[in-house]
Amino acid sequence: MSSPLLSQMPINTRIEQHRVSTARHITTTHKDERADPQDISLLVIHNISLPPNQFGNNYIDDFFEGKLAADAHPYFNEIHRMRVSAHCVIKRDGEIVQFVPFNQRAWHAGLSSFQGRSKCNDYAIGIELEGADHIPYTDIQYKVLTQLTNAIMQAYPKITLGRIVGHNDIAPGRKTDPGHVFDWPRLRQSLTPVKSL
Ligand SMILES: [Zn+2]
């Protein structure tokens, strides 16, 4: 059979008005304004799965929207009141869900610091991969993350290759995501750096 797989078809991911053209969009109140909307200069990669290590449901969407059902799983009772979010989630099947436009501040990094500057949420974009530290990510997640990161670097040129980090890098000792299975060389080698003019 020669019918093309969805994952092999060209996808033109663009950012328009701080929104990803190929994403499903959900609104959340878990966000606020950036002090300086021009100050977008760091990309933070995370992982999340709800319940932990389980994939393929809509609990992450519910969590970032603030409507996670406390009684749906014992773990949810601990976390359902947390007010957190990310700009985008990349699901196991490559779907992008966007919760917060990039010019606004999502609440993903928490207590954090990069190169001596704290409060990374102020100036960072946060992308969550549906995943867990010890479970390999899917090929389509790497492919979509590459496309999305390239589009982000185009739209926000202060985000250079050296300013793409893991949550563990900006909150060492407190956070471990995206985990030891995340293949940083694979991501870095697949990216297309923006040529400086
Ligand atoms: Zn994280």
Give the pLDDT score at 193. Answer: 79
Expressed in angstroms and rounded, the spacing between residue 44 Cα and the centre of ligand 1 is 8
Give the pLDDT score at 147. Answer: 97
Helices and strands (H and E) in the chain: how many: 5, 12
Give the pLDDT score at 194. Answer: 77
Report the DSSP beta bridge partners of residue 44.
Answer: 126, 165
Alpha-carbon distances of 34 from 76, 89, 113, rounded to whole Å: 29, 20, 17
Expressed in angstroms and rounded, the spacing between residue 113 Cα and the centre of ligand 1 is 13
Expressed in angstroms and rounded, the spacing between residue 106 Cα and the centre of ligand 1 is 12
Give the pLDDT score at 48. Answer: 98
First to last CA, the chain: 45
pTM above 0.85, yes or no: yes
| Catalytic residue positions, numbered | 128
Q: Which fold has domain 28-189?
A: Lysozyme-like (3.40.80)
- Cα angle at 150 between 145 and 152, to 5 degrees? 95
> Can you give the pLDDT of all 197 residues of the chain as single tens digits?
555 555 555 668 999 999 999 999 999 999 999 999 999 999 999 999 999 999 999 999 999 999 999 999 999 999 999 999 999 999 999 999 999 999 999 999 999 999 999 999 999 999 999 999 999 999 999 999 999 999 999 999 999 999 999 999 999 999 999 999 999 999 999 999 777 65
Give the pLDDT score at 134. Answer: 98
Expressed in angstroms and rounded, the spacing between residue 5 Cα and the centre of ligand 1 is 31
The whole-angstrom separation of Cα 64 and Cα 122 is 18
